[in-house]
């Protein structure tokens, strides 16, 4: 717990570093540009497709007529846009995480290592290709889990638990690998991810809940859709900030754990047993003579 808290405050302080702020601009610009571009070209068609799908379900049509009868027709009008946003938010979260992992994490790890662990050897246990395949594999698995859990989101308590847990698990898997890829060997990385599984997962879950906070901007009320372009930019900026903080937190904790692991390995090295050449010569040993024997 002490290491978790120490690395947490260090990561929070590093977020104010000018280099970290500058590094966050590139993934932010890319994510915002991609989201706004896709929204400009596909928003209306996506809403129309969702609305057409809803109209084919008799249960949904009956529900919308009931809303009209109680004077809540406005909710029926924004139901399709809300569904499009609900489907787009997980993709925005995952894209923000991957952009931070690929564009920021290596530089953030180098910053932490240079300022706090300058003597820590880099063993290059994984290259950029391995890290990319690892991230994409777990990203696809996380998206599958999100889709499978989507029906459970309509249960009020579970919608506040399942998405942050999945995002936290994905953050743990991606960030743990990336921050150790350059400094740890493959064996050291596997050992640390096994021995420090629960602290690393705790960091990921905290980051997942922090990452879920921007989604509340859309959940406050339906009127938020009027400010959709502004909220998209604000949400992406918050996602980028959260995942940059998470990368720094993982870097401080994992590199400190790696340093302790190597120090323990050096301390447990068995000293060599002295060989025959280290024994005193036979001439130096006392030899019993008749004169030295006691009288009978």
Q: 291 lies in a domain?
A: no
Q: 288 lies in a domain?
A: no
User: Which DSSP state fits 123?
Assistant: -
User: How many angstroms separate the first and last alpha carbons of the chain?
Assistant: 75
Whole-number Å distance between alpha carbons of 15 and 235? 18
Q: 147 lies in a domain?
A: yes
Domains of the chain: total: 1
**CA 25 to each of CA 71, 129, 150, 236, 286: distance values in angstroms, whole numbers, following the listed order:** 45, 24, 32, 11, 81
Q: Which residues contact 116 (CB under 8 A, 6 or more apart)?
A: 10, 252, 255
Which residues in the chain land under pLDDT 70?
A: 60-61, 63-64, 67-77, 214-230, 269-296
Give residue for tokens 């290709």.
Answer: 129
pLDDT of residue 188: 93
Query: How many Å separate Cα 19 from the centre of its chain?
Result: 20
State the residue range of the domain holding 127.
2-62+71-266
pLDDT of residue 196: 92
Q: 76 lies in a domain?
A: yes
pLDDT of residue 293: 47
pLDDT of residue 242: 87
Q: The whole model's pTM is what?
A: 0.78
pLDDT of residue 47: 81
pLDDT of residue 46: 84
Q: 148 lies in a domain?
A: yes
Q: 35 lies in a domain?
A: yes
pLDDT of residue 60: 66
């Amino acid at each position: 717990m002490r290491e978790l808290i120490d690395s947490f405050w260090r990561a929070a302080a590093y977020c104010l570093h000018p280099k970290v702020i500058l590094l966050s601009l590139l993934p932010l610009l890319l994510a915002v540009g991609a989201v706004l571009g896709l929204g400009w070209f596909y928003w209306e068609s996506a809403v129309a497709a969702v609305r057409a799908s809803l109209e084919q379900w008799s249960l949904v049509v009956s529900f919308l007529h009931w809303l009209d009868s109680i004077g809540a027709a406005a909710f029926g009008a924004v139901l399709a846009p809300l569904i499009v946003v609900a489907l787009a938010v997980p993709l925005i979260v995952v894209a923000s995480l991957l952009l931070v992992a690929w564009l920021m994490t290596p530089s953030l790890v180098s910053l932490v290592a240079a300022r706090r662990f300058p003597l820590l050897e880099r063993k290059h246990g994984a290259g950029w290709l391995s890290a990319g395949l690892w991230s994409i594999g777990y990203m696809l698995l996380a998206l599958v889990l999100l889709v499978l859990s989507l029906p459970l989101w309509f249960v009020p308590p579970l919608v506040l638990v399942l998405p942050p847990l999945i995002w936290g698990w994905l953050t743990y898997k991606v960030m743990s690998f990336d921050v150790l890829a350059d400094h740890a060997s493959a064996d050291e990385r596997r050992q640390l991810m096994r021995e420090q599984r629960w602290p690393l997962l705790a960091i990921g879950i905290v980051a997942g809940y922090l990452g879920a906070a921007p989604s509340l901007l859309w959940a406050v009320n339906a009127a938020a859709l009027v400010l959709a372009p502004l909220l998209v930019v604000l949400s992406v900026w918050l996602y980028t900030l959260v995942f940059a903080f998470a990368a720094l937190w993982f870097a401080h904790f994992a590199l400190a754990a790696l340093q302790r692991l190597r120090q323990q390995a050096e301390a447990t090295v068995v000293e060599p047993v002295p060989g025959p050449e280290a024994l005193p010569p036979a001439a130096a040993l006392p030899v019993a003579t008749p004169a030295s024997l006691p009288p009978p």
